[in-house]
């Protein structure tokens, strides 16, 4: 079956109580954003179903001058469900890359656009490295540290390969452009 948004919500609540907003932020741009593809619109329905199923509970917390906050907590049944899901074999990781599509078709793209695509991808990799490093800075949890270090290794390897081999990709575009110019 694979892990889904429900599993992601349970994982966050396993570690801490949280509001829907906090869960949404952690799962889309925070330290839990690398595990399951969760959209902003999928978090609240998943929390509602988890609450109906007795896997999480919620309570209202009043705030002076602001609307009440709904804080979610995992139940014992939710903890057991989460642990059972963790003990299932993982699905194949999903990796999609528009950059790699451009690279595969480099002979159809002009050389300056290939160079710009490479620079964009290097910038994205740097941003990912910075994000993971920031999670790692104050992290005492051994499993989270291991995952962050694995992520840093994978992204650093990707950046290293791209930096060392960018000229090969740029040459494909340049050679194709030269062949097109010669044919005209």
Domain identity same for 102 and 179: yes
Domain count, the chain: 2
And the tokens for 129? 């490295």
Residue in the block written with tokens 């044919």: 183
The reply to whether 63 falls in a domain is: yes
Domain identity same for 121 and 47: no
Predicted confidence (pLDDT) per residue in 148-158, tens digit: 999 999 999 99
- Domain closes at, from 20, 52, 86: 86
> What CATH number should be reported for the domain holding residue 10?
1.10.10.10
Domain identity same for 42 and 69: yes
Domain identity same for 81 and 108: no
Domain identity same for 178 and 103: yes
The reply to whether 93 falls in a domain is: no
pTM, two decimals, is 0.78
Domain identity same for 30 and 62: yes
Q: Print burial letters for 52-83: b (CB count within 10 Å at least 16), e (below 16).
A: eeebbebeeeeeeeeeeeeebebbeebeebbe
Range of the domain at 41: 5-86
How would you write the pLDDT of the chain (184 residues) with one tens digit per residue?
457 889 989 999 999 999 988 998 888 777 787 787 777 678 889 999 999 999 999 999 888 888 888 999 999 999 999 999 999 998 888 888 999 999 999 999 999 999 999 999 999 999 999 999 998 998 898 998 999 999 999 999 999 999 999 999 999 999 998 888 898 8
The reply to whether 134 falls in a domain is: yes
- Domain closes at, from 86, 117, 137: 86
Q: How far is CA 166 from the centre of its chain?
A: 25
Residue (of 56, 52, 68, 58) closest to 7 by Cα position? 56
The reply to whether 131 falls in a domain is: yes
The reply to whether 66 falls in a domain is: yes
Predicted confidence (pLDDT) per residue in 92-128, tens digit: 888 889 999 999 999 999 999 999 999 999 999 999 9
Domain identity same for 102 and 150: yes
Q: How far is CA 128 from the centre of its chain?
A: 9
Parallel/antiparallel/unpaired status of strands 66-74 and 56-63: antiparallel
- Domain closes at, from 55, 86, 117: 86
């Amino acid at each position: 079956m694979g892990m889904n948004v429900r599993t992601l919500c349970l994982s966050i609540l396993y570690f801490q109580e949280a509001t829907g907003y906090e869960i949404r932020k952690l799962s889309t741009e925070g330290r839990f954003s690398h595990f399951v593809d969760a959209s902003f619109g999928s978090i609240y329905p998943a929390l509602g179903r988890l609450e109906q199923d007795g896997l999480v509970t919620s309570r209202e917390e009043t705030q002076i001058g602001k609307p009440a906050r709904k804080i979610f907590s995992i139940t014992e049944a939710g903890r057991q469900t989460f642990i059972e899901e963790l003990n299932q074999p993982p699905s194949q990781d999903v990796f999609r890359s528009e950059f790699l599509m451009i690279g595969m078709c480099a002979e159809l793209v002009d050389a300056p656009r290939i160079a710009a695509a490479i620079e964009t991808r290097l910038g994205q990799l740097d941003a990912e490295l910075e994000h993971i490093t920031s999670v790692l800075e104050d992290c005492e949890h051994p499993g989270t540290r291991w995952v962050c270090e694995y992520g840093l290794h994978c992204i650093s390897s990707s950046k290293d390969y791209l930096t060392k081999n960018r000229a090969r990709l740029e040459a494909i575009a340049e050679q194709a452009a030269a062949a097109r110019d010669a044919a005209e």
